[in-house]
Amino acid sequence: MDIAELKTAFREIDDPAEALARLATVDFDSLKPGEISFLHRKLKRLAPAPGAKIAYLGNLTVEPLPDYVDIRAACGGLATASHVGAFGQHYQEVMNPASGLHAFAPDLILLTLSLRELAPDIAFRFSSLDGEQRAAERNRIVGHVADWLAAAKNATQATILVANFPVPAALHAGIADLNDPDGERAFYARLNLDILELCRETARATLFDLDRLVARVGTERAFSPRLTFLARREWDEHLLPAFAGELFRYLVALKGLTRKCLVLDLDNTLWGGVVGEEGPDGVKVGPGDPVGEAFLAFQHGIVALKERGVILGIASKNNPADVEEVFARRPGMPLRLEDFSAVQVNWNHKHESLKAIAASLNIGIDSLVFLDDNPVECGMVREMLPEVKVVQMPDDPALYLDCLRALPWFERLSITGEDRAKARQYLENQKRDVARETTGDLNDYLKSLGTEVIFRHPVEKDADRIHQLFTKTNQFNTTTMRYSPADVERFMTGDRFDIRVADVRDRFGELGTVGLILIDREGEVPAIDSFVMSCRAMGREIESAIVNSVKEEYLLSGRYPALECRYVPTRKNQPVAELYESQGFIVAGRDPESGAKNYRLAAENAALLPCDHIQLTKDE
């Protein structure tokens, strides 16, 4: 939408949902500072319910960064709310239970510290310090951050981002600094590495790489000496859009907005030219030609996404034989046809191909990001499938890789073993589908799989995967509670909750950690709070094997008189609408407005369901 039209529309909008829907059509990077300010004032007046709450703490003036973040998030479909701590009060905000920070209860805390305030000897008198003094100052800075981080982690449930320290544009010793082993450049490298290691060692803490962000924007453009002296606001407006964009990446990962699948057009998207006209040897991708090298770099970038766990798909209007010939005759391409878990090469409309891809992968349409060079195709997909994130590629292929890397939709706070194995797992699923089609009887097929389930208590390294399952699983999710990393930590360490995970494998390979069940043991009757399972494990009665195990431990053992649970319907979790009925639970109450159902199963009525084709092993 044109910004002038948007501003006109915003003057008339009174519905927060409509405002967010309008902003979701806007390219944030095209907005000017005055336009961001205008849109933020209007959005703040409408006060949409926040999907994420961000607290900004530190010893420098952060405004108007929160305004930029709010609009960047809104352009991505997420409403945010902000709390800005008082200047230099980052310790007090955390330690005082009556502070505005605790009343705000943030999902995310960003700590940004200026060495001008925290370590003025480093900022202004670096050359006068000897090596021991410089090392002592570095240890003092890291200790300050470590103490604050420990306090913030203990006092809040938030995920915590700690910004590192940008290298100054000018070094005190000039170019001679680079030959000094204890010089300023080395000082910042060691300091930032210490901060990185500190964050890696602290649960719920992650580094915010401000140093890299400033380098990308340009140090002299990123900082404003005038505003620093005037208002202790170090950051120039040139930095703020990039800062907001980078922070939004963390919000995507934290709030479960990460997309699962990248779908690509082929002609003039994955390679240069049209294969139907120029033939497999005529399309440009590879060394020796500037256009071909641009597409080569782009394909390398796509491979990197695949290795992070992004599923790849193709939606192309082409003859299948032509496409297969390109992959067969161009072995120098980083991408092979088998790298794509879903391929739709035909003459159908692209939106039809995208729906077929989502169906074949058993994922939602809103899990797709679609890249195409053709504005007509992009426009039609946006119109027919608004849930899909559509990216029209730039006119210049040299910019393709930058365009790919700028996408925030594939961010994760960490990359698990399941993520790295994603492509292999979907390939194995295709083999299972073939086996199912060739086996006439469903029971025979299930027996042939040789499914093994390890039902166990999680260990520390499982925390990231558990958070992923809570935030990304939609279909097999009985309550769709989007628990935070702090919640996961609480479930795993306290006595109130019993959380178990399910690792699955069969004759085709490892499915990985595909499910979890969370039981709240507070009170005389325990309750299943959440039952979550990846879509790739559905359809083989693994849920029955898990519930059987829970029944044995909680009911048939005589440990408890009953077990309760709940189903909360959403637009996507219809596959589990009758799950608990099928497991023998009795509906004990219904909410006529939401459609939620409460269940209860008495110990004397508990019975195990037959699922002999599954071998389940429990840990002690």
Is pLDDT above 80 for 368? Answer: yes
Same domain, 249 and 288: no
Same domain, 454 and 383: no
According to DSSP H, which parts of 373-462 are helical?
375-384, 400-406, 417-420, 422-438, 442-449
Range of the domain at 570: 441-618
- Would you state the structure tokens that stand for residue 570, as one six-digit string? 């959403």
All residues at 6 or more sequence positions from 471 whose CB lies less than 8 Å from its CB, including other chains? 255, 256, 482, 483
Q: Is residue 425 part of a domain?
A: no
What local confidence, expressed as pLDDT, does residue 40 receive? 93
Q: Which helix (H) or strand (E) holds 190?
A: helix 184-201
Single out the residue in 406, 428, 457 at which a domain terminates. 406
Is pLDDT above 80 for 3? Answer: no
Determine the 3-state secondary structure of 207 from DSSP. strand
Q: Is residue 4 part of a domain?
A: no
Same domain, 341 and 265: yes
Q: Is residue 393 part of a domain?
A: yes
pLDDT in tens, 212-241: 999 999 999 999 999 888 888 999 999 999
For the segment 274-292, the average pLDDT, to the nearest whole number, is 94
Task: Give CA–CA dist 326/283, Å, rounded.
Answer: 8
Q: Is residue 512 part of a domain?
A: yes
- Would you state the structure tokens that stand for residue 178, as one six-digit string? 């680079």
Same domain, 275 and 244: no
What local confidence, expressed as pLDDT, does residue 425 receive? 81
Same domain, 495 and 604: yes
- Determine which of 181-195, 218-232, 310-324, 541-555 has the lowest per-residue pLDDT on average: 218-232
Q: pTM, whole model, 2 decimals?
A: 0.86
All residues at 6 or more sequence positions from 330 whose CB lies less than 8 Å from its CB, including other chains? 280, 281, 283, 285, 286
All residues at 6 or more sequence positions from 402 whose CB lies less than 8 Å from its CB, including other chains? none
Note the Cα 257 to chain centre separation in Å: 6
For the segment 331-360, the average pLDDT, to the nearest whole number, is 95
For the segment 234-252, the average pLDDT, to the nearest whole number, is 96
Task: Give CA–CA dist 400/293, Å, rounded.
Answer: 11
Residue 135: CATH number of its domain: 3.40.50.1110
- The edge-to-edge listing of strands for the beta sheet with 159-163 is 80-84, 52-58, 108-112, 159-163, 205-208
Same domain, 350 and 479: no
Residue 550: CATH number of its domain: 3.40.630.30
For the segment 238-267, the average pLDDT, to the nearest whole number, is 96
Is pLDDT above 80 for 423? Answer: no
With beta carbons less than 8 A apart as the criterion, state whether 387 and 369 touch: no
Same domain, 63 and 172: yes
Could you tell me which residue, 22 or 197, shows the higher pLDDT?
A: 197
For residue 285, what is the DSSP state? -
> Residue 585: which pLDDT band, with cuts at 50, 70 and 90?
very high
Angle between helices 184-201 and 131-155 (to 10 degrees): 30
Is pLDDT above 80 for 2? Answer: no
What local confidence, expressed as pLDDT, does residue 620 receive? 66
Task: Give CA–CA dist 382/389, Å, rounded.
Answer: 8
**HSE-up of residue 133 (Cα within 13 Å, Cβ side):** 10
For residue 490, what is the DSSP state? H
Same domain, 517 and 557: yes
Q: Is residue 506 part of a domain?
A: yes
Q: CA gyration radius for the chain?
A: 27
Q: Is residue 16 part of a domain?
A: no
What local confidence, expressed as pLDDT, does residue 1 receive? 58
Q: Could you tell me the CA-to-CA distances from 19 to 30, 47, 384, 592 in Å, in that order?
A: 18, 10, 21, 30
- Would you state the structure tokens that stand for residue 454, as one six-digit string? 């390890």
pLDDT in tens, 426-435: 878 778 878 8
Instruction: Give the whole-number percent of the chain exceeding pLDDT 70.
Output: 100
Residue 399: CATH number of its domain: 3.40.50.1000
> Residue 246: which pLDDT band, with cuts at 50, 70 and 90?
very high
* Dihedral pair phi/psi, residue 94, rounded to 5°: -75, -40
Question: Tokens 């979907």 appear where?
Answer: 426
Same domain, 447 and 386: no
Spatial CA neighbour of 533 closest among 522, 521, 545: 545
With beta carbons less than 8 A apart as the criterion, state whether 509 and 531 touch: no
Same domain, 73 and 183: yes
What local confidence, expressed as pLDDT, does residue 9 receive? 80
pLDDT in tens, 511-544: 999 999 999 999 899 999 999 999 888 888 999 9
Task: Give CA–CA dist 192/413, Å, rounded.
Answer: 19
For the segment 127-141, the average pLDDT, to the nearest whole number, is 97
Could you tell me which residue, 399 or 436, shows the higher pLDDT?
A: 399
According to DSSP H, which parts of 57-175 are helical?
65-75, 90-95, 100-104, 115-118, 120-124, 131-155
> Residue 343: which pLDDT band, with cuts at 50, 70 and 90?
very high
Single out the residue in 254, 287, 307 at which a domain terminates. 254
Q: Could you tell me the CA-to-CA distances from 220 to 166, 232, 235, 590 in Å, in that order?
A: 11, 17, 10, 61
Rounded to the nearest integer, the mean pLDDT of the chain is: 94
Task: Give CA–CA dist 371/265, Å, rounded.
Answer: 6
Determine the 3-state secondary structure of 80 from DSSP. strand
DSSP 494-538: SSSEEEEEEEEEETTEEEEEEEEEEEE--SSS-EEEEEEE-GGGT
Torsion angle of C-alpha atoms 161, 164, 166, 171, degrees rounded to 10: 170
- Determine which of 13-27, 349-363, 601-615 has the lowest per-residue pLDDT on average: 13-27
Task: Give CA–CA dist 614/228, Å, rounded.
Answer: 65
Q: Is residue 180 part of a domain?
A: yes
Number of domains within the chain: 3
Is pLDDT above 70 for 302? Answer: yes
Same domain, 111 and 223: yes
Q: Is residue 419 part of a domain?
A: no
Single out the residue in 384, 406, 428 at which a domain terminates. 406
> Residue 550: which pLDDT band, with cuts at 50, 70 and 90?
very high
Same domain, 121 and 186: yes
